[in-house]
């Protein structure tokens, strides 16, 4: 099927689709004619305008009736298995993620494991159970991060989880390729989403991220959603990590921990 051609028969499952990048992805896919299942910790409703984060254009009315929703906990294997028990989607997108701050030598071990459980093991479970049922010739996309390749002080758990996710997806691409299934990751730079909004309360951090961009465009969740659509319709692209960060990877990463320590000490 050529890019730009859409049929209502195509089905996508968006894990973490109730807000942020996931909600924007559900919106873009629904607008393009896909039937979308939104899976999240709580039952999702059609997202309202602006619920993806600042700077987006989405309107909730555009996706009313275009999707159904399921409850899933990506840290619970039985929950993930149940999500895919009665479906054979053409596309699976996993966006679930959490983060925390702490120096390696001081990091709370339980917090470190929590971030890996959601960001890495959760994606593994989606690949494991979703990979069994996704249609031959279909696609899987996982949302990684610029932090998969660009470290930040105090971000050991998140950086490790996202770097592992990129490598995990490449292994999945190798193993699922014989069925024509393409597996890719997207590594966004900093976006304003419900996950990152608390971080923006740290004075100087927004300016630090803006200064890292080589463009005058601050990224939005919809930028990432459009990249998901690109990967869904790119038959010769698999095992890749698509970085969309305004060129931020070519500059130094803001000192998030330092700014946070200064703000709250």
CB 215 within 8 Å of CB 190: no
pLDDT 10s digits, 88-131: 999 999 999 998 989 999 999 999 999 999 999 999 999 999 99
DSSP designation for 155: B
CA-based radius of gyration for the chain: 18
Tokens of 231: 């990967």
Q: Is 158 a catalytic residue?
A: yes
- Sort residue 71 into left (φ over 0), alpha (ψ -120 to 50) or beta: beta
Residue among 195, 72, 175 nearest 125 (CA): 72
Average pLDDT over residues 41-48: 62
Give the pLDDT of residue 255.
Answer: 56
Prediction pTM value: 0.82
pLDDT 10s digits, 1-28: 333 344 457 999 999 999 899 999 999 9
pLDDT 10s digits, 181-190: 999 999 998 7
Separation in Å, CA 119 to CA 94, 134, 146: 10, 21, 14
Choice among 52, 158, 209, 253 that is catalytic: 158
Q: 86: burial class by Cβ within 10 Å (0-12, 13-18, 19+)?
A: exposed
CA distance 91 to 64: 20
Give the pLDDT of residue 43.
Answer: 73
- Does residue 194 or residue 51 have the better pLDDT? 194
CB 172 within 8 Å of CB 131: yes
Pair type for strands 182-188 and 139-143: parallel
Give the pLDDT of residue 245.
Answer: 75
- Look at residue 259 and tell me whether its pLDDT is greater than 80: no
- Look at residue 54 and tell me whether its pLDDT is greater than 50: no
Q: Which domains does the chain have, with CATH numbers?
A: 11-264 (3.40.50.720)
CA distance 48 to 120: 29
pLDDT 10s digits, 200-246: 666 666 666 666 666 666 778 999 999 999 999 999 999 999 999 76
């Amino acid at each position: 099927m050529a890019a730009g051609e859409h049929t209502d028969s195509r089905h996508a499952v968006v894990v973490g689709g109730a807000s942020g990048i996931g909600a924007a992805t559900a919106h873009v896919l629904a607008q393009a004619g896909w039937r979308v299942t939104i899976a999240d910790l709580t039952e999702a409703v059609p997202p309202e305008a602006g619920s993806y984060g600042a700077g987006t254009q989405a309107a909730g009315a555009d996706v009313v009736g275009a999707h159904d929703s399921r409850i899933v906990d990506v840290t619970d294997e039985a929950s993930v298995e149940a999500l895919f028990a009665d479906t054979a989607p053409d596309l699976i997108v996993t966006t679930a993620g959490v983060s925390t701050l702490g120096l390696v030598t001081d990091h709370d071990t339980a917090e470190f494991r929590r971030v890996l459980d959601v960001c890495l093991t959760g994606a593994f479970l989606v690949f494991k159970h979703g990979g069994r049922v996704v249609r031959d010739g279909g696609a899987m996309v996982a949302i990684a991060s610029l932090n998969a390749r660009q470290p930040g002080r105090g971000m050991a758990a998140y950086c490790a989880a996202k770097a592992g996710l990129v490598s995990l997806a490449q292994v999945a691409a190798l193993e699922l390729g014989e069925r024509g299934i393409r597996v890719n990751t997207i590594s966004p730079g900093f976006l304003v989403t419900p996950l990152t909004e608390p971080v923006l309360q740290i004075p100087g951090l927004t300016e630090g991220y803006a200064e890292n961009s080589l463009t005058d465009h601050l990224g939005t969740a919809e930028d990432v959603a459009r990249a998901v659509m690109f990967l869904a319709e790119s038959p010769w692209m698999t095992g890749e990590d698509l970085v969309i960060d305004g060129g931020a990877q070519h500059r130094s990463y803001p000192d998030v921990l330092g700014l946070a320590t200064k703000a709250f000490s």
